[in-house]
Amino acid sequence: MAELVVALAEVGRQDGARVGGKNASLGEMIGRLAGAGIRVPDGFATTAAAYWRYVEANDLRERIGEAIGALAPDLSNLAEIGGRIRAAILGGQMPPDLAEAISAAYRRLGGEQAASVATRSSATAEDLPEASFAGQLESFLNVTGEAAVLDACRRCYASLFTDRAISYRENHGFDHLQVALSVGVQRMVRADLAGSGVMFSIDTETGFPRTALITAAWGLGEAVVQGMVEPDEYQVFKPLLDSAPRPIVERTRGGKACKMIYAEQGATRLVETEPTERARFVLADEEVLQLARWACLIERHYGQPMDMEWAKDGESGELFIVQARPETVQSRRAAGELRSYRLGRAGERLLTGLAIGDAIGAGPVCRLESAAEIERFRDGAVLVTGMTDPDWVPIMKRAAAIVTDHGGRTSHAAIVSRELGLPAIVGTGEATARLQDGQEVTACCAEGDEGHVYAGIAEFEVERIELAQIPRTRTRTMVNLANPAAAFRWWQLPADGVGLARMEFIISNHIKVHPMALVRYEAIEDAAVRGQIDALTAGYDDRRDYFVDTLARGIARIAAAYWPRPVIVRMSDFKTNEYAALLGGAQFEPHEENPMLGWRGASRYYDADYREGFGLECRAIRQAREEIGLDNIVMMIPFCRTPEEADRVLETLAGHGLVRGKAGLAVYVMAELPANVFLAGEFARRFDGFSIGSNDLTQLVLGIDRDSGRLGRAFDERHPAVTTAIAALLTRAQLAGVHTGICGQAPSDHPEFARWLVRQGIDSISVSPDSFLRVKRHIAEAEQEPGPVDPAGEAPAAPAASDPAQDRCPGPADAG
């Protein structure tokens, strides 16, 4: 007689046909990974044979077959058919031999005391890479006593025929009478007293394989999976787990407005969290790193990206893995191809939320309150609702995009949208209140981690890029990045690193507070400003740590995308009017008539009125390089006017523990001033390289405000005066043996300018990611072509630079 119940420790991943993918995976981890320190709650599973024993004992096979045979092709009678089958299963009696086998296993699990257990459904076709049944079946928590366990098993059997499960099998071609169900019974982890969440061994939005994504909320994990709560989110850079102290490249505090806890037998309820819980992170850094190490071990053991659930026991303080299955979205994407969406002209921005995926979808809004309103939905509409659960899948499959009020990156809406390849914007907070039925909108997830809903049908392009077709070049081709949220989106580009990472974007968009308002918080006079700062820095004992931590992790995320290739981080280069626009900034910034030529860049770093703020920037660089471990970060100093100013900046850096050459630290200077060209030899003795800022250099060589609408047509980086300066700088830098690159916009906008730079012998060209492929091809062609290249495409080529010594302006020694 076939075995009806088996201990989880006695099964492995080869037993999916016997106990389902979920239980087979739990058994695999208990048997194979416990020695590596991974904890999985002990338990047992009913087998597929037990399910068929129940079906046969209650004469259910024929009744199920007849009901399925009556299912309409358009599933219009799905609710009636599903209800009929579930009622038949729930009305059955547990065969005595099966009841005793389950009861005996339960008694062994609990010993003398009745154990509190979780009963989870595991279908025998579940969790295959080509078919994820995740979320289709039922689980019952906090079940105690033999009778309650038997009843929970019966209810798990019935959940094989929920409306959503029937619809899923119909859509994926599974024979309903060939799929069995195993019930996993495990000791409960008291996550209701602590926290739980979801974990992936890759980045779920981009497929970036070198980070582990962990979400965490207070209480039971179902609140996270079902999108009821905005969880904390952590990303860990896996390659540095064994070498760096804390390689956590992202740590975002979620709202965590509620949590799920136990109620009566087998039930749960939602309660509001305390303000102190909302302000705190659920996991300490060491716990985050422990989970990430487990994710790596599990991924390595299974040989593929994995989707896992974890829980922390509030009584013992121990972490547990309670589920592991193959990741079924990014792992199925075609390798070697990039599909890039680019937003063009768009209407008014209406809403912002978390972007799921990187696509764009548009159509009329269909706002629904429940999945029961399926008959109102029209194919190609944008589904707008509060949140989704598995009942929504038949509707979601027909949508052009999905927008929800609630949910995080591991919510049901996010997981299913990725599987369906749909753009989704979750956690907007007010989609159902702001968007109206029939209103045409565009849901854009192509702008980084934040997704935006625009009024009307926007213009957008889709480009498919075959990585194998991108040529190799001697000239390094790098990318310019500002938004850490978008960094992983471009990880597959064969870039040679990041030529410009703009620190000010992270400060203005993520930190939002002027650094001196944190250093001198007690001096802030505006009570409203103090309140806003308090809200942003909640959870930090020292408000300055908020600035350092947020900046460090933003930089680290960009650096991780291209590690170990160089990532050049420009230190802050706000003008005074831009600094004043930051929260609390007006009190610490002077008014300047011409901020473009005022107190900016290097001149601020050693000044008494900002050097403490610059100290926070330096702490962030050290944290990113030394604690997170991304030593591929190169520092770059902007708007450095004189060699003497360079000396003061380097001395200031050293005072903050950032010594050029120590621990491999390279420091570049932006070449954006005529002084940088004229005295290139002097600057080359102080810095490891030049990065040409063609926008400011053009402005200062031609004397044109780069923001002037009236003079805009005369502003041209390809003008012979500008190219003469660039050619001279390149020659002098090459003689000095230091790195040369360009990070301005000109090569992205003007391919012939990029070709000219190649012929001048520049070491690297950095461009915007969406122009990378086009510029890379022009660089490859330029490296193959003989003869001069015209940087403007029309005017004569810039004259070659003469000897640097002869170009030096006369000084006192030359007078007379």
pLDDT tens for 288-331 read 999 999 999 999 999 999 999 999 999 999 999 999 988 877 76
With a pLDDT cut of 70, the percent of the chain lying above it is: 93
For residue 721, give the H/E element and its range.
Answer: helix 720-736
pLDDT score at 675 = 97
- The CA-based diameter of the chain, rounded to the nearest angstrom, is 115
List the 195-200 sheet strands across, edge first. Answer: 248-252, 232-237, 211-218, 195-200, 306-312, 319-326
Give the contacts of 662 (CB within 8 A, at least 6 positions apart).
none
Distances (CA, A) of 61 to 85, 124, 164, 169, 336: 10, 17, 20, 17, 46
pLDDT score at 715 = 85
Q: How confident is the model at residue 810 (pLDDT cuts 50, 70, 90)?
A: very low
Q: Which residues are paired to 454 by β-bridges?
A: 349, 442
DSSP states of 252-320? E-----EEEEE-STT-EEEEEPPHHHHHS-SS-HHHHHHHHHHHHHHHHHHTS-EEEEEEE-TTT--EE
What is the SS3 assignment for 386? coil
Q: Is 717 exposed, middle or buried (0-12, 13-18, 19+ CB in 10 A)?
A: buried
For residue 694, give the H/E element and its range.
Answer: helix 694-702
pLDDT score at 795 = 35
pLDDT score at 199 = 96
pLDDT score at 44 = 97
pLDDT score at 812 = 33
SS3 per residue for 631-662: CCEEEEECCCCCHHHHHHHHHHHHHCCCCCCH
Q: How confident is the model at residue 794 (pLDDT cuts 50, 70, 90)?
A: very low
User: Which of 359, 398, 484, 481 has its CA nearest to residue 171?
Assistant: 398
pLDDT score at 813 = 33
pLDDT score at 805 = 36
On the question of pLDDT at 51 being above 90, the answer is yes
pLDDT score at 449 = 75
With a pLDDT cut of 90, the percent of the chain lying above it is: 70
On the question of pLDDT at 128 being above 60, the answer is no
Instruction: Please state which of the ranges 32-41, 164-173, 605-614, 692-701 shows the lowest mean pLDDT.
Output: 164-173
Q: pLDDT for 221-276, tens place per residue?
A: 888 877 788 899 999 999 999 999 999 999 999 999 999 998 876 678 899 999 99
On the question of pLDDT at 1 being above 60, the answer is no
On the question of pLDDT at 558 being above 90, the answer is yes
Choice among 412, 514, 719, 739 that is catalytic: 412
Q: Beta strand 337-343 with 460-466: parallel, antiparallel or unpaired?
A: antiparallel
What is the SS3 assignment for 764? strand
Length of the chain in terms of residues written? 816
Q: How confident is the model at residue 335 (pLDDT cuts 50, 70, 90)?
A: low
Q: State mean pLDDT over 669-681.
A: 97
pLDDT averaged over every residue in the chain: 89
Q: Which residues are paired to 644 by β-bridges?
A: none
Told to judge if 412 belongs to the known catalytic residues of this protein, a careful annotator would answer: yes
Q: How far apart are CA 326 and CA 229, in angstroms?
A: 24
Q: State mean pLDDT over 407-422.
A: 78
Q: How confident is the model at residue 809 (pLDDT cuts 50, 70, 90)?
A: very low
User: Which of 368, 386, 388, 387 has its CA nearest to residue 378?
Assistant: 368
pLDDT score at 216 = 96
pLDDT score at 372 = 87
Instruction: Please state which of the ranges 57-66, 343-352, 403-412, 462-471 shows the lowest mean pLDDT.
Output: 462-471
pLDDT score at 84 = 95
Residue with tokens 């802050």: 572
Q: Is 419 exposed, middle or buried (0-12, 13-18, 19+ CB in 10 A)?
A: middle
Instruction: Please state which of the ranges 29-43, 91-105, 605-619, 785-799 shows the lowest mean pLDDT.
Output: 785-799
Q: How confident is the model at residue 796 (pLDDT cuts 50, 70, 90)?
A: very low
Whether the Cβ atoms of residue 199 and residue 38 lie closer than 8 Å to each other: no
For 111-246, where are the alpha helices, taking DSSP H only? Answer: 146-158, 163-172, 222-225
Q: How confident is the model at residue 815 (pLDDT cuts 50, 70, 90)?
A: very low
Q: Beta strand 440-444 with 450-455: parallel, antiparallel or unpaired?
A: antiparallel
Instruction: Please state which of the ranges 239-243, 464-468, 752-756 shows the lowest mean pLDDT.
Output: 464-468
Choice among 296, 366, 743, 750 that is catalytic: 743
Residue of 73 and 644 predicted with greater confidence? 644
Q: Which residues are paired to 355 by β-bridges?
A: 425
Whether the Cβ atoms of residue 570 and residue 670 lie closer than 8 Å to each other: yes
On the question of pLDDT at 802 being above 60, the answer is no
Considering 157-171, 675-689, 783-797, the range whose residues carry the highest mean pLDDT is 675-689
pLDDT score at 130 = 44
Q: State mean pLDDT over 359-383.
A: 93
pLDDT score at 92 = 95
- Beta strands of 562-692 (E only): which ranges? 567-570, 633-637, 667-671, 689-692
Q: pLDDT for 473-485, tens place per residue?
A: 999 999 988 888 7
pLDDT score at 793 = 58
pLDDT score at 787 = 61
pLDDT score at 749 = 75
Q: How far apart are CA 519 and CA 446, in angstroms?
A: 36
pLDDT score at 334 = 53
